[in-house]
Amino acid sequence: MKMDSPNQKKVIVIPCSGIGKAFGSIARDATYEVTENLRRDGTQTLCLALLVSGDEESLQLVRNHKCITVDGCPLQCAEKNVKLAGGDLAGSVRVVDVYKENRHLKPRGVTFLDPDGQQMALALAEKIAKQVDNLVVGQ
Amino acid sequence: MVEVQEKKVGIISCSGEECVEGTMSRVATRLVLGKLKPNETVTICLPLFLAGGREERDFARDYPTITVDGCDRMCAKTATERYSGKPASSIVVTDILKNWQCPRLGTRRKLNDETLTVTRKVADRIAEEVDEVLRHWV
């Protein structure tokens, strides 16, 4: 797990990575697009399962940094679990909101995203990146 | 939601976001569900399980499970033991990689061909465990 210096507060982007449906894979892929490409210097992700398992380092990370959760379904497990961990939840994004804005896209692949899924992930990533920018400005 | 009336094995993957082995655990699990053992397996969404999903926890208590973890932190196995009971089998990708040749792992976002080949072997291993669990089903 990468830790940053105090003057370099990264935003933690946490997807649900739900495994049953395409939207979980889209949440995961969008998170990688943000943390590895769009805002690679100002963000990082962490293992949601490790956080919820009570890992102390993960708990400190979400409590001491702004977090944005990315959820694939209405159960919003990522958001719920970050709240339960006492994390600093600064933003929450749902795949379904991007779907409503892009109804022509019909993502089906779960194991590997199909072109529609990839396109939706990119749209979602842009939305997350905007939230990151707002948080960085507000710091 | 998990609705089951017959012999099914639950596969619980960690899907760890921080490392490529987490992606391998996820893809291997999906390959088992979709291709290798579609009629014998179901998956349980680990974040939902951890968030307190009653049906997921009940299923893992009443049916045999196989956990698939990317690393030795073993979050999927630990969570299953904590909330539902001991899994019938437990697979850790990093342990498997010690015994197999996979010199260049791909990125956690996209598995390269080499890593995908190894991931298919992990899926085969899970499928073997599924057969083993079903063979001993009482």
Whether B15 is covered by a domain: the verdict is yes
Instruction: Choose, out of A29, A46, A48, the residue to mutate when testing the contact with B (most B CBs < 10 Å).
Output: A48
Distance (Å, rounded) from C-alpha A19 to C-alpha B12?
9
Whether B93 is covered by a domain: the verdict is yes
Task: Please state the domain count of chain B.
Answer: 1
Whether B138 is covered by a domain: the verdict is no
Asked if B50's CB is within 8 angstroms of A77's CB, the reply is yes
Query: In this complex, which of A24, A29, A49 lies closest to B14 when CB atoms are compared?
Result: A49
Instruction: Using only the alpha carbons of chain A, give its radius of gyration.
Output: 14
Query: In this complex, which of A20, A46, A81 lies closest to B50 when CB atoms are compared?
Result: A81
pLDDT (tens digit per residue) in A29-84? 999 999 999 999 999 999 999 998 899 999 999 999 999 999 999 999 999 999 99
Asked if A28's CB is within 8 angstroms of B15's CB, the reply is yes
Confidence label for A139 from pLDDT (cuts 50, 70 and 90): low
Whether B3 is covered by a domain: the verdict is no
What are the start-end ranges of the E strands in A65-135? 66-71, 88-94
Other CB atoms within a 10 A radius of the CB of residue A11 amount to 25
Q: Average pLDDT in the B40-61 region?
A: 88
Whether B137 is covered by a domain: the verdict is no
Chain B residues touching A15 at Cβ < 8 A: 17
* Dihedral sign of CA atoms B90, B94, B95, B97 in order: positive
pTM: 0.91
User: In chain B, what percentage of residues exceed pLDDT 70?
Assistant: 95
ipTM of the complex: 0.89
Ordered alpha helix ranges (H), chain B: 20-31, 46-50, 54-62, 75-83, 93-99, 113-135
> Which residues touch A58 (CB under 8 Å, ≥6 apart)?
A1, A46, A47, A50, A51, A85
Beta strands A43-45 and B89-92, pairing class: unpaired
Confidence label for B6 from pLDDT (cuts 50, 70 and 90): confident
Residues B6 and A39: beta-carbon distance below 8 Å = no
Distance (Å, rounded) from C-alpha A118 to C-alpha A32?
12
Domains in chain A with CATH codes: 11-138 (3.40.50)
Whether B79 is covered by a domain: the verdict is yes
- Domain limits at B121? 9-131
Distance (Å, rounded) from C-alpha B13 to C-alpha B44?
8
pLDDT (tens digit per residue) in A93-113? 999 999 999 999 999 999 999
State chain B's mean pLDDT as an integer.
91
Distance (Å, rounded) from C-alpha B60 to C-alpha A90?
33
Whether B136 is covered by a domain: the verdict is no
Assign residue B103 the CATH number of its domain.
Answer: 3.40.50
pLDDT (tens digit per residue) in B78-107? 999 998 899 999 999 999 988 887 667 888
Whole-number Cα distances in Å, A78 to A55, A82, B57, B87 = 16, 6, 18, 24
pLDDT of residue A7: 45
Residues B120 and B31: beta-carbon distance below 8 Å = yes
Chain A residues touching B14 at Cβ < 8 A: 47, 49
Chain B residues touching A36 at Cβ < 8 A: 107, 109
> Which residues touch B82 (CB under 8 Å, ≥6 apart)?
none
